[in-house]
Structure formats: structure tokens, C-alpha cells
């Protein structure tokens, strides 16, 4: 059985041996570790959520560029001219023209400079 504790020593006072103090420190670190790991899990889930949003962000930017390029009016005569001279399919020529705002001369220059 335990001996009665003197009145001048508080109940929370560490015990006299170093081994008991290490055990008390280990127990207190276990208690705080649970709280810290819960916070860490919350942070990790937030980081994961942000990463997932960023992964989808690239696709949204590409889709936005496509929508912007679709607003360009393309003349079918330019499509036929470029398809004949550059020996490309009409969908490829249309994409090339949309990338250069429907300007046939700029599209030709860009195609020739990249393929050379």
C-alpha cells in the first residue's frame, strides 16, 4: 500500500527516480501524440484535397483555351488552300487556323517554321 504523502508536496509532483520521470514523460507524450496526429491527418487530407483540385486544373485550362479558339471565324477557302498546299487534313488545318486567329499567312509561316 502507498504511504501517505506529506502536505507540502503537490499530487502532480514527479516521483524521485529518473526511471519514473522518464515513464511519466513517455505517458504524457503519448497523450499529446494522439492530438497531434489527428491534426496531422486533417492537414494531410486538406493537402490531398488541394492536390486533387490542382490535378484537374490543367484540364480546365486546356478546355478554356479550346473554347476561346472555337470563337474564331474560319474561312473555308483558307482551309482548302492550306490543306492543298501544306498537305494536311482539313481538321488539322482548321486547328492550325484557330491557333492563329484565322490568319492564313500566319498559320502557314508557323507551320513552315516548326516543320523545318
Q: Residue 36: which region, alpha, beta or left (left: phi > 0; alpha: psi -120 to 50)? A: alpha
Instruction: Report the alpha-carbon distance of residue 103 to residue 33 in Å, rounded.
Output: 65
The tens digit of pLDDT for each residue in 7-56 reads: 776 666 655 677 777 777 777 766 554 555 555 556 677 777 777 776 76
In degrees, to the nearest 5, what angle opens at C-alpha 39 toward C-alphas 33 and 45? 130
Is 76 domain-assigned?
yes
Q: How many domains are there within the chain?
A: 1
Q: Over 80: is that where the pLDDT of 99 sits?
A: yes
Tell me if 24 is assigned to some domain: no
| pTM of the predicted model as reported, rounded to 2 decimal places | 0.41
Domain that holds residue 84: 69-115
Amino acid at each position: 500500500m502507498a504511504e501517505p504523502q506529506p502536505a507540502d508536496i503537490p499530487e502532480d509532483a514527479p516521483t524521485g527516480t529518473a526511471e519514473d520521470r522518464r515513464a511519466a514523460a513517455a505517458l504524457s507524450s503519448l497523450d499529446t501524440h494522439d492530438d497531434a496526429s489527428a491534426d496531422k491527418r486533417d492537414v494531410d487530407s486538406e493537402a490531398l484535397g488541394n492536390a486533387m483540385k490542382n490535378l484537374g486544373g490543367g484540364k480546365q485550362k486546356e478546355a478554356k483555351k479550346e473554347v476561346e479558339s472555337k470563337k474564331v471565324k474560319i474561312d473555308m477557302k483558307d482551309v482548302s488552300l492550306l490543306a492543298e498546299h501544306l498537305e494536311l487534313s482539313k481538321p488539322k488545318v482548321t486547328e492550325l487556323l484557330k491557333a492563329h486567329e484565322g490568319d492564313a499567312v500566319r498559320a502557314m509561316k508557323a507551320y513552315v517554321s516548326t516543320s523545318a
